[in-house]
Amino acid sequence: MTVLERLAATIAELLVDDARRVLLGEDVRDGGMLGLSLAAMGDPNLRDRVAAIPLSPTAMWAHAAGLAAGGRRPIVLCAAASALFEGFAGLREAAHLGWRSGDQRPVPLLIVAPEGPGFGLGTEHASVPESVLTGITGLRVVVAGRTEELAAYLRAAANFDAGDQPTVLLLPRTLLLREAPTSTPLTLDHRFGSAHVLTGGDDLTVFTWGSTVETVLDAVRETAADATIVDVSTLGPLDTDTLVDAANRTGRLLIAHAGPAAFGVGAEIAALTADRSIYHLDAPVTRVTGQPGPYAPGREESALPSRADLVAAIQALIPHPRRPSPGRSR
């Protein structure tokens, strides 16, 4: 079973579990571009809750937000995260709908979209829209980072475990065509909506997310660094307390993510640690990222930080010899 097939099965299970859920998207009656609605359409009892709507993103978000405010729990499947750019105004209004009602009404709307390189499509399909999305107040933005957790992230997002607000779940394309692990858990081993500490160590702290998580894990293994690795996971709103505690722990910080360095989530995290961790840091914050776009079809790898660059950055940050820092918290 591929990751996409596992996700399609999870979506069908979600519709079975809660009759309030409906599945929306441009071509979901035909399986969708990625086949994520195939399992739902294969169940005669679910077909009436799978609705194809035209790819007019602003209208799509408005329609889905109205359903959510009216008691439904819509799941919108996007063929690409670039549709979120096209419907930015509608997405912003959906995120603000609960407040505009005057009574902080829940708006449990879930949008699922693939992002970043991985299919060889290039151009906007290889871009990462995180910095734009996290600027929308009221919108939760989560990106899954490891193959074995994709289905669990989808289930937790659809259950709105972190609160009934509009949520965008981004799925890195680099993970979607892989074989699904045979024992994918149905629940996460950490709280949805929070950063996830993958490993604990004293040499340095690495913040990463999305398609870069597994590359970071490989690079740390290659260097044999004793690293605290944090999958940031929820980019909006950031789990600031976990991030600050992890940065303070080691006093040396590397931030690694796909897409350009400028004006992104990594820049925001660097500013956060400058504000709240400056007296605990023994070295300047290091960032390793992808290159600025646009990305040519078939040459999308420049959107991702390379393993070699990550290894070099880790080796440069590891203290030789290690010196104690009186300002560092343990």
pTM above 0.85, yes or no: yes
Domain boundaries along the sequence of the chain: 3-176, 196-317
User: Is CATH 3.10.20.310 correct for 196-317?
Assistant: no
Give me the pLDDT at residue 286, please: 97
C-beta separation of 43 from 12 below 8 A: yes
Burial of 160-179, coded b for 16+ CB within 10 Å and e otherwise, reads bebeebbbbbbbbbbbbeee
Low-confidence ranges of the chain (pLDDT < 50): 321-330
The overall average pLDDT reported for the chain is 89
Give me the pLDDT at residue 55, please: 66
Question: Which CATH code of 3.40.190.10, 3.40.50.10800, 3.40.50.150, 3.40.50.970 fits the domain covering 3-176?
Answer: 3.40.50.970
Give me the pLDDT at residue 102, please: 63
Output the six-digit token pair for 241: 């307390």
Task: Identify which of 207, 309, 293 has the alpha carbon closest to the alpha carbon of residue 256.
Answer: 207
Query: Is the peptide bond between 305 and the residue preceding it cis, with omega within 30 degrees of 0?
Result: no
Output phi, psi for 87, to 5 deg. -105, 35
Domain 3-176 and domain 196-317 have a common topology: yes
Task: Identify which of 244, 237, 241 has the alpha carbon closest to the alpha carbon of residue 265.
Answer: 237
Give me the pLDDT at residue 225, please: 96
